Structure 1
Amino acid sequence: MPVPGGVAVVPLGTASQAPQATYGDQRVMVIQDSDGQWIAVVGIPLGTAPGRQSLLVQGGTAATFQVRAKEYAAQHIKLKNRRQVSPDPEDLKRIKRELDLQLAAYRTYRDGVVPSNVMLDRPVDGRLSSPFGLRRFFNGEERNPHSGLDFAVPSGTPVKAPAAGRVVLVGDYFFNGKTVFVDHGQGFISMFCHLSAIDVKPGDEVARGAVVGKVGATGRATGPHLHWNISLNAVRVDPAIFIGAARRP
């Protein structure tokens, strides 16, 4: 059953053309399964309360799904750089500018583009370290939950696109460090951060397995690792779902 930070797969029927569906104010991914049925693949925000949720489907009909509760563990991190825990006023202005850019990238929706595959390759080969959804405490102060999946790999390890897509944003940000966003189509977005190097630019079309950058420890990081986000309908969801490594609620 779908959980906060997870994905709902909602059947939409067998019309001749793909129906449009929205969740909240965002279009959701709609693809066709092997039996010819259209399905919506919906990202569920971490803050969603248990209970029934609705999609608005083209034509004014609704489709519903049930969300089940899930508890995520806590993580305590010590940082030497106090500004990365309590940014100063100039830092906060920079963070706001950068957040606006990144939220716009997450809202990217290329209509008519079917993702090459919703089952993804791992962007690096390495041990999974911090999982998605952890409640994070930096120097004892609670901050936003962990919005991605971390891989413990050495600095300089090539980071590969887990599916074909288009680069929509690159940057060097206060918290995320060197960062790449890849749009796989229909609001299905990969984000890779804390990189030591970026090997692509906005507008580049990348094939599955193409190198987009190299692992590093830039931004708010305690050591080299890859942080990988997946976003659906502008909602961060657990990347482990798409590589067959998700834990049961």
Structure 2
Amino acid sequence: MRRIVTIATSSCATLLIALLTGSSAHAALPTAASVPGGVALIVLGPISASSTRPLAWLGEQRVLVAAEDAQWVAVVGLDLATTPGTYELRVDIAGEWQRHPFSVVNKDYPAQRITMKDSSKVQLSASDLTRVEEELATIQRLKRHWREATETDLAFVLPAQGRRSGRFGVRRFFNGEPRSAHAGFDIAVARGATVKANAQGQVLAVDDYFFNGKTVFVDHGNGLISMYCHLDSTAVQPGETVSKGQRIGAAGMTGRATGPHLHWSVILNGAMVNPELFVVESGKKS
């Protein structure tokens, strides 16, 4: 039986809460940005010695809940296709159901025009189109994956060192034709450059896709997943546990790419969100 001692001082009380919740008192939450492609942070209530971690849903998708400064905070991923307006989080706190409304505001992303020498990556053949549709269905399943975890590391390091070449959310045109917005973050590096896990987790999948090329998915727990694309080679296997900073592969230009680089995506409760919101550099958010 767990013995609980109530201590009056705030510092000791914070330590007690951290021990009870199984996480640090400061979860290094991502930067809040309640916009399409961003992350909404919603305070659910105080943590107490008797409280259990709330369960939260956006629609039918579970949402990560973290401990931050003696409060429970829902960390909600917002898809790029999210329409600005008012949304509602459903929350179960020890059997008591609550509804937490929140607003999403508009964000204008710039346009980018890309010329592909290999037009077969833009105008797909019937067989390539069938392959792409099957792969997209697989990726959608991976994006909705949920693994219960005691704690989730939300303070990311950059997975590669290089020039930041492609920002998140850019509206893209390939050979003059509109395509889906850029749901990731590009880092220009030489072929063979080290790609490392931005946080600890478990390898969810390793595969070679038509558009994404050689790809690794790392599941950080509680609906937070990283995806590393266009790799030249991979160094991990599905089910393997990886630590923050561990080498998971080498950068390349497999799939649809105009040059060697790492495309890095972050998925939160099934939504592709801006990876830069999670990056901590020199003790500060990027």
Q: TM-score, normalised by structure 2?
A: 0.83
Q: How far apart, in 2, do the equivalents of 1:105 and 1:123 lie?
A: 20
Equivalent position to 2:97, from 43, 52, 60: 60
The number of residues matched between the two structures is 246
Match of 2:10 in 1: none
Match of 2:76 in 1: 42
Equivalences for 1:120-139 in 2 at 5 Å?
120-139=156-175
Asked if 1:77 corresponds to 2:109, the answer is no
Q: How far apart, in 2, do the equivalents of 1:157 and 1:64 lie?
A: 44
Residues 157 and 280 in structure 2, CA contact (< 8 A), matched pair in contact too:
no
The alignment partner of 1:231 has SS state of: strand
Q: Which runs of 5+ in 2 are unaligned?
A: 1-32
Match of 2:269 in 1: 233
Q: How far apart, in 1, do the equivalents of 2:200 and 2:150 lie?
A: 11
Match of 2:64 in 1: 29
Q: Deviations over 1:182-222 (max 9, x none)?
A: 00010100000000000001000001111111000000000
Match of 1:89 in 2: 126
Equivalent position to 2:207, from 140, 164, 171: 171
4+ runs deviating over 2 angstroms: none
The alignment partner of 2:107 has SS state of: coil
Residues 79 and 271 in structure 2, CA contact (< 8 A), matched pair in contact too:
yes
Residue 243 of structure 1 aligns to which amino acid in structure 2?
V
Match of 1:9 in 2: 41
Q: How far apart, in 1, do the equivalents of 2:194 and 2:161 lie?
A: 10
Residue 10 of structure 1 aligns to which amino acid in structure 2?
I
Q: Deviations over 1:162-199 (max 9, x none)?
A: 11000001101000000000000101000000000000
Residue 30 of structure 1 aligns to which amino acid in structure 2?
V
Asked if 1:111 corresponds to 2:148, the answer is yes
Q: How far apart, in 2, do the equivalents of 1:244 and 1:112 lie?
A: 22
The alignment partner of 2:134 has SS state of: helix
Asked if 1:201 corresponds to 2:233, the answer is no
Equivalent position to 2:260, from 217, 224, 232: 224
The alignment partner of 2:166 has SS state of: coil
CA displacement at 1:244 relative to structure 2? 5.0
Residue 102 of structure 2 aligns to which amino acid in structure 1?
F
Residues 55 and 65 in structure 2, CA contact (< 8 A), matched pair in contact too:
yes
Equivalent position to 1:180, from 216, 229, 247: 216
CA displacement at 1:234 relative to structure 2? 0.5
Q: How far apart, in 1, do the equivalents of 2:121 and 2:149 lie?
A: 40
Q: Which runs of 5+ in 1 are unaligned?
A: none
Match of 1:157 in 2: 193
Q: How far apart, in 1, do the equivalents of 2:148 and 2:235 lie?
A: 27
Q: TM-score, normalised by structure 1?
A: 0.95
Q: How far apart, in 1, do the equivalents of 2:206 and 2:181 lie?
A: 23
Identity across aligned pairs (percent)? Answer: 47
Residue 241 of structure 1 aligns to which amino acid in structure 2?
L
Q: How far apart, in 2, do the equivalents of 1:239 and 1:147 lie?
A: 9
The alignment partner of 1:95 has SS state of: helix
Residues 189 and 251 in structure 2, CA contact (< 8 A), matched pair in contact too:
yes
The alignment partner of 1:197 has SS state of: strand
Match of 2:25 in 1: none
Q: How far apart, in 2, do the equivalents of 1:187 and 1:163 lie?
A: 14
The alignment partner of 1:104 has SS state of: helix
The alignment partner of 1:80 has SS state of: coil
